[in-house]
């Protein structure tokens, strides 16, 4: 009777170690090819940072933005220009905050992929100046700033770049290239139609670099499957909606009554953020929660306590 | 035949060089009237140079006379009177970038080393008649062709070759060869006058002097084969040869201004009726020196060759190039991509190797695919965010551009040339590379890749400008430039030198996230003629305005060109959208200009 070599204690120990390595490898492969981020070890290693909007943090599964993931922002109705509902404003606020609150030692630029060539930078320039790194200045910060100023041919590193692709193919290629670069904090884009293959490429690219992709999509993209970790629909806040509905339905109302006298309202904007899907949706059946958020448009930060924030699980 | 031959100098004048240089970098502007302007101490823009390469066909017969030194508003008024109001609306206003002009001129001068080893930047040209308003700039090259003309088949062949080769590169030039730099400068500057004079002279006169001892002709002229460069380039005369020792006879009737005399001297001489060079030459030198100092006598001596006027040659460029010629022309459809990449890699390596020795790297590169066709070579230019000496990275960038280039049918050879080089950045490396440390060099590589594929104007960094008009309140500055033109910025609408950037433009929540490139006409119901908007329709949907903020009046000064007078309102609608709309105070119409995405 021959004895199986694998049952020998010495070999079985080796076999166990090899099996564990194989299992880890398989697990990572499955995780990479699956839409479900189920490998606990990988998830625990990933870095979660605040989005800069406390209300949004409460809405997100990880209580913040996980680096190396994608986020979709859906307009309330129509596309970005036609709706003007504020999805782009929120996406930019998160991007600017990611740039400063990044735990990866130094400020990294935000890149906008603007195929329509309609983005107007003066609107968010004050956000870039007001946002300071939240972490204490580390040695690497000092070193990098010193080296930037003292290297030959040193040129000022900017915090915001804009790329103008000419067509859809260039737009997809540009986003893919940007998301693969670990020196970028966030990529903001307005892709109208994205195939699941392209978005999968972007997801893998972001995961390899740690950059965050923030994409503002039209409302009809809600039906499409997504590789984004979170999909947020942006709409008018509940309180304003009821007030406006009443004002618009009154035929005899004097329009002059609706006009704001002070004009201070332009410095802030109230939104309802609703989690309407995302990659987690297939694994965990979470009802769609929503939060209210008031954004200070002067600084790009949220007014905390200005409005009563509530979770709506109905 | 022995003995030292007299010197022969060729001057190549590039008319309206500031505009030509801008059009070379932005060919799309050829369809519009382009004004290069300078802001004076009072903030008034004055025209340095202007051109309209492709004016409307129906009005080609009229040529507006807009001189250097005109205020922009005056120039636009003249333009409007000839071409109509729309011409002023589509006009492109660019700011002067004299440093960029000189750098490109130096690059062109180094390219001219193929004609002679001695190439110099030409003298300053003085613009404007009033002394206080006169400006100086450089727009010419001077080449010593004393001993090199014979290699090109004589002076006539050489001067014709220079003009037409530059024309093939999109550069309009006029050239002249004479004994002295001053005389050749006068001849090149006054080509039109010489042509007119030549037409009036009898044909016998031309025949008499058409053959000189040097085998060249006097006032050789040739009509251009086409006028594709537009009305301001369609002159009949583009080059002049002044036979040796005859500058006094041939150029005597030219104005004394062309001798580069000070403006006040010219004015003083004009008051006593001295307006041409021949009149000036008849005056006694001693009295001229007593009255105006040594400057007039010196210029006359230089013109006649009595005083030395040495050229200051451009420093020989140490930027290297490498060329590979195929034994037989290769069909582009049969070109092996892998082989071509290896070929480019070896050529780039040859170019980079001498730079590495001096701790420098290439910051822009040019790859030329030679052809036998009439269309000339196909040129691929690659610019870099920061100089690099990595051959593989440069080859990647070239191949990115190569993939998106329409190749000629046959390729006879490939040449690689480093257009500009800079010192390599020196960055200390860490002992232990942290996996989470951000590496900016990767970002630089990314910028280079994006620019190579999308073009230099497609990757920009926004910079604010102090302009009240929303469209002109920021500029998109390309992060990567080709041929060392880093001094210029560009955007879809506004152009400004970096030196003039200030951060005092209106920013923040009062400005929209998206701005339409052209305001869209809206149907708006408002409270009275001057009232606030109540509802409007856009993209088939009626928006009821719930809150407004405004009006914010934006009105531009008259000297900026077409006046902008608008009352802006921020409107929040019942659907939650915020819009930036304005009422034009001239036409009393409502427009949508932006949205708060």
In chain B, which residue's Cα lies nearest the Cα of A113?
Answer: B459
In chain A, which residue's Cα lies nearest the Cα of B465?
Answer: A122
* A161 neighbors B461 (Cβ within 8 angstroms): yes
Query: According to the model, what pLDDT value does residue A2 have?
Result: 43
- CA angle at B262 for the pair B257 and B264, rounded to the nearest 5°: 100
Does the pLDDT value for residue A43 go beyond 50?
Answer: no
Q: Which domains does chain A have, with CATH numbers?
A: 44-133+157-247+267-302 (3.40.50.300)
Sequence-distant (6+) residues with CB within 8 A of B475 are: B462, B463, B465, B489, B490, B491, B494, B495, B496, B501
In chain B, which residue's Cα lies nearest the Cα of A246?
Answer: B574
Cα distance between residue B555 and residue B561, in whole Å: 12
For testing the chain A interface, which of B576, B578, B580 should be mutated: the one with the most A CBs within 10 Å?
B576
Cα distance between residue B490 and residue B487, in whole Å: 10
Give me the residue label for tokens 């009033």: B130
Cα distance between residue B98 and residue A308, in whole Å: 58
Give me the residue label for tokens 């230089």: B302
Cα B77 to Cα A148, B118, B547, distances in angstroms: 48, 44, 41
CA distance B580 to chain A (A): 10
Per residue in B418-442, pLDDT (tens digit) is 888 888 877 666 666 554 444 447 8
Query: According to the model, what pLDDT value does residue B344 have?
Result: 94
**Burial profile A90-105: b = 16 or more Cβ within 10 angstroms, e = fewer:** bbbbbbbbbbbbbebb
Sheet holding B9-13, edge to edge: B119-121, B140-144, B9-13, B174-178, B239-241
Q: Which of A118, A151, A173 sits opposite B515 (nearest CB)?
A: A118
Cα distance between residue B28 and residue B50, in whole Å: 15
Cα distance between residue A127 and residue A118, in whole Å: 19
Query: According to the model, what pLDDT value does residue B12 have?
Result: 94
Cα distance between residue A19 and residue A23, in whole Å: 6
Residue A72 DSSP SS3: strand
Query: According to the model, what pLDDT value does residue B26 have?
Result: 76
Query: According to the model, what pLDDT value does residue B500 have?
Result: 40
What DSSP line would sit under B80-142, residue for residue?
HHHH-HHHHHH-EEEE--HHHHHHHHHHHHHHGGGT-S-EEE--EEEE-SSGGG-EEEE-EEE
Helix residue ranges, H only, B169-272? 181-189, 191-200, 203-209, 247-251, 263-271
Cα A172 to Cα A163, B14, B295, B452, distances in angstroms: 12, 43, 64, 16
Chain A / chain B CB contacts < 8 angstroms: 216
Sequence-distant (6+) residues with CB within 8 A of A51 are: A57, A60, A64, A65, A94, A97, A98
Sequence-distant (6+) residues with CB within 8 A of B130 are: B69, B263
Q: Which of A120, A263, A265 sits opposite B514 (nearest CB)?
A: A120
For testing the chain B interface, which of A87, A121, A178 should be mutated: the one with the most B CBs within 10 Å?
A121
* DSSP 8-state class, residue B218: T
Does the pLDDT value for residue A34 go beyond 60?
Answer: no
Q: With respect to CATH, is domain B321-427+437-454 assigned 3.40.50.1820?
A: no
Cα distance between residue B526 and residue B508, in whole Å: 27
* DSSP 8-state class, residue A157: P
Task: Give ranges for CATH 3.40.1170.60 in chain B.
Answer: 17-96
The alpha-carbon radius of gyration of chain B (Å, integer) is 28
* DSSP 8-state class, residue B61: T
The CATH T-level fold of domain B17-96 is: MutS, DNA mismatch repair protein, domain I (3.40.1170)
CA dihedral A117, A121, A123, A127 (to 10 degrees): 140
Residues of B in contact with A125 (CB under 8 A): 462, 464, 503, 507-508
Give me the residue label for tokens 């610019």: B383
Task: Give ranges for CATH 3.30.1490.100 in chain B.
Answer: 321-427+437-454
* B17 neighbors B101 (Cβ within 8 angstroms): yes
Per residue in A179-196, pLDDT (tens digit) is 999 889 999 999 988 998
Q: Answer yes or no: do A162 and B462 touch at CB < 8 A.
A: yes
Query: According to the model, what pLDDT value does residue B46 have?
Result: 84
Closest to A277 measured CA to CA, from A265, A264, A267, A286: A286
Q: Measured in whole angstroms, how far is the alpha carbon of residue B203 from the centre of its chain?
A: 39
Residues of A in contact with B527 (CB under 8 A): 255-256
Closest to B145 measured CA to CA, from B214, B210, B194: B214
Cα distance between residue A184 and residue B440, in whole Å: 9
* B355 neighbors B421 (Cβ within 8 angstroms): yes
Q: Answer yes or no: do B438 and A85 touch at CB < 8 A.
A: no
Cα B337 to Cα A197, A266, B341, B372, distances in angstroms: 27, 57, 6, 21
Q: What token pair was written down for B556?
A: 């531009």
pLDDT in tens, chain B (597 residues): 444 457 899 999 998 888 988 888 777 787 788 888 887 767 778 888 888 876 665 555 567 788 888 888 888 888 888 887 778 888 888 888 877 788 888 888 888 888 888 899 888 766 554 444 445 578 899 999 988 888 888 888 898 889 888 887 788 899 999 999 999 999 998 887 777 776 665 445 445 545 544 444 444 444 433 333 333 333 457 888 888 888 888 888 888 888 888 888 888 888 888 888 999 999 888 888 888 888 888 989 999 988 888 888 887 667 788 999 988 888 888 888 889 999 999 999 999 998 888 888 888 888 888 887 656 678 888 888 888 888 999 999 999 888 888 888 888 889 998 888 888 877 666 666 554 444 447 888 899 889 888 887 899 988 888 778 888 888 888 887 654 443 333 343 333 333 344 445 677 788 899 999 889 998 888 777 678 888 888 888 888 888 888 788 988 876 666 678 899 999 988 888 889 999 988 778 899 999 988
Residues of B in contact with A253 (CB under 8 A): none
Does the pLDDT value for residue A40 go beyond 50?
Answer: no
For testing the chain A interface, which of B513, B543, B551 should be mutated: the one with the most A CBs within 10 Å?
B513
Residue A253 pLDDT grade (very low, low, confident, very high; cuts 50, 70, 90): very low
Residues of A in contact with B425 (CB under 8 A): 151-154
Query: According to the model, what pLDDT value does residue B398 have?
Result: 92
Per residue in A99-144, pLDDT (tens digit) is 876 555 567 899 999 999 999 999 988 888 766 554 433 333 433 3
Query: According to the model, what pLDDT value does residue B160 have?
Result: 87
Cα A44 to Cα A168, A186, A212, distances in angstroms: 36, 21, 17
Cα distance between residue B505 and residue B498, in whole Å: 15
Q: What length does chain A have?
A: 314
- CA angle at A287 for the pair A286 and A290, rounded to the nearest 5°: 115
* B275 neighbors B256 (Cβ within 8 angstroms): yes
* B202 neighbors B44 (Cβ within 8 angstroms): no
Residue A71 pLDDT grade (very low, low, confident, very high; cuts 50, 70, 90): very high
């Amino acid at each position: 009777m021959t004895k199986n070599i694998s049952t020998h204690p010495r070999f079985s120990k080796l076999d166990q170690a090899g099996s564990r390595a194989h299992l880890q490898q398989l697990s990572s492969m499955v995780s990479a090819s699956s839409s479900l981020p189920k490998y606990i070890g990988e998830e625990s290693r990933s870095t979660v940072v605040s989005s800069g909007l406390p209300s949004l943090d409460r809405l997100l599964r990880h209580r913040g933005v996980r680096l190396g993931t994608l986020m979709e922002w859906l307009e309330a109705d129509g596309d970005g220009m036609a709706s003007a509902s504020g999805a782009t404003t929120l996406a930019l606020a998160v991007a600017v905050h990611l740039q400063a609150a990044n735990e990866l030692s130094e400020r990294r630029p935000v890149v906008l992929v603007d195929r329509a060539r309609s983005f107007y930078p003066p609107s968010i320039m004050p956000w870039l100046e007001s946002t300071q790194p939240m972490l204490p200045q580390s040695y690497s910060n000092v070193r990098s700033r010193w080296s930037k100023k003292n290297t030959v041919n040193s040129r000022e590193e900017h915090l915001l770049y804009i790329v103008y692709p000419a067509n859809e193919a260039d737009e997809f290629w540009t986003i893919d290239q940007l998301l693969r670069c670990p020196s970028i904090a966030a990529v903001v884009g307005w892709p109208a139609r994205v195939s699941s293959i392209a978005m999968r490429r972007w997801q893998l690219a972001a995961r390899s670099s740690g950059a965050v992709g923030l994409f503002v999509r039209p409302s009809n993209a809600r039906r499409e499957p997504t590789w984004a970790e979170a999909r947020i629909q942006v709409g008018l806040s509940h309180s304003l909606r009821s007030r406006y509905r009443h004002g618009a339905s009154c035929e005899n109302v004097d329009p002059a009554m609706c006009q704001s006298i002070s004009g201070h309202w332009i410095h802030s904007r109230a939104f309802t953020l609703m989690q309407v899907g995302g990659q987690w949706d297939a694994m965990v059946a979470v009802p769609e929660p929503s939060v209210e958020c008031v954004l200070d448009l002067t600084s790009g930060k949220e007014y905390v306590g200005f409005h009563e924030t509530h979770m709506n699980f109905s | 035949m022995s003995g030292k031959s007299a010197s022969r100098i060729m001057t190549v004048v590039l008319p309206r060089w500031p505009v030509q240089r801008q059009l070379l970098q932005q060919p799309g502007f050829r369809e519009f009237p382009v004004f290069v302007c300078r802001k004076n101490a009072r903030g008034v823009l004055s025209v340095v140079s202007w051109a309209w390469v492709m004016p409307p066909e129906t009005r080609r017969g009229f040529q507006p006379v807009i001189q250097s030194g005109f205020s922009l508003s005056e120039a636009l008024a003249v333009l409007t009177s000839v071409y109509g109001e729309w011409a002023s609306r589509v006009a492109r206003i660019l700011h002067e970038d004299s440093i960029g002009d000189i750098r490109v001129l130096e690059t062109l001068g180094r390219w001219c080393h193929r004609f002679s080893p001695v190439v110099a930047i030409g003298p300053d040209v003085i613009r404007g008649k009033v002394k206080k308003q006169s400006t100086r700039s450089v727009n010419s090259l001077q080449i010593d062709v004393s001993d090199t003309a014979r290699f090109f088949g004589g002076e006539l062949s050489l001067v014709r070759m220079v003009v037409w080769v530059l024309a093939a590169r999109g550069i309009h030039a006029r050239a002249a060869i004479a004994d002295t730099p001053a005389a050749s400068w006068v001849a090149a500057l006054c080509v039109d006058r010489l042509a007119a004079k030549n037409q009036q002279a009898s044909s016998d006169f031309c025949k008499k002097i058409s053959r000189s001892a040097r085998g060249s002709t006097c006032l050789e002229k040739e009509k251009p084969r086409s006028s594709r460069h537009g009305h301001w380039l369609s002159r009949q005369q583009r080059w002049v040869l002044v036979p040796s020792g005859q500058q006094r006879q041939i150029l005597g009737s030219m104005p004394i201004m062309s001798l580069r005399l000070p403006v006040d001297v010219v004015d003083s001489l004009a008051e006593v009726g001295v307006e041409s060079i021949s009149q000036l030459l008849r005056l006694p030198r001693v009295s001229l020196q007593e009255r105006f100092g040594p400057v007039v006598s010196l210029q006359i001596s230089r013109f006649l060759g009595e005083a030395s006027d040495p050229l200051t040659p451009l420093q020989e460029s140490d930027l290297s190039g490498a060329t590979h010629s195929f034994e037989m022309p290769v069909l582009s459809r049969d070109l092996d991509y892998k082989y071509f990449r290896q070929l480019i890699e070896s050529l780039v390596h040859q170019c980079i190797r001498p730079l590495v020795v001096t701790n420098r790297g290439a910051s822009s590169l040019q790859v030329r695919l030679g052809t036998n066709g009439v269309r000339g070579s196909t040129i691929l230019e690659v610019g870099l965010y920061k100089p690099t000496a990595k051959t593989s990275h440069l080859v990647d960038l070239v191949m990115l551009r190569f993939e998106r280039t329409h190749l000629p049918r046959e390729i006879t050879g490939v040449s690689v040339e480093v257009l500009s080089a800079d010192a390599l950045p020196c960055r200390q490396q860490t002992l232990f590379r942290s996996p989470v440390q951000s590496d900016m060099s990767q970002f630089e590589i990314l910028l280079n890749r994006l620019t190579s594929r999308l073009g230099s104007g497609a990757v920009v960094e926004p910079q604010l400008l102090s302009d009240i008009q929303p469209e002109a309140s920021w500029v998109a500055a390309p992060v990567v430039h080709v041929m060392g033109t880093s001094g210029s910025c560009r955007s879809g609408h506004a152009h400004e030198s970096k030196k003039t950037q200030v951060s005092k433009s209106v920013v923040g929540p009062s400005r929209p996230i998206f701005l339409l490139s052209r305001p869209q006409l809206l149907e708006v119901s408002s409270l009275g003629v001057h009232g606030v908007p109540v509802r409007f329709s856009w993209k088939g949907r009626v928006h009821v305005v719930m809150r407004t903020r405004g009006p914010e009046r934006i009105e531009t000064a008259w000297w900026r060109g077409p006046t902008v007078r608008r009352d802006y309102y921020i409107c929040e609608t019942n659907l939650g959208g915020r819009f930036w709309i304005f009422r034009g105070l001239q036409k009393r119409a409502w427009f949508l200009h932006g949205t708060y995405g």
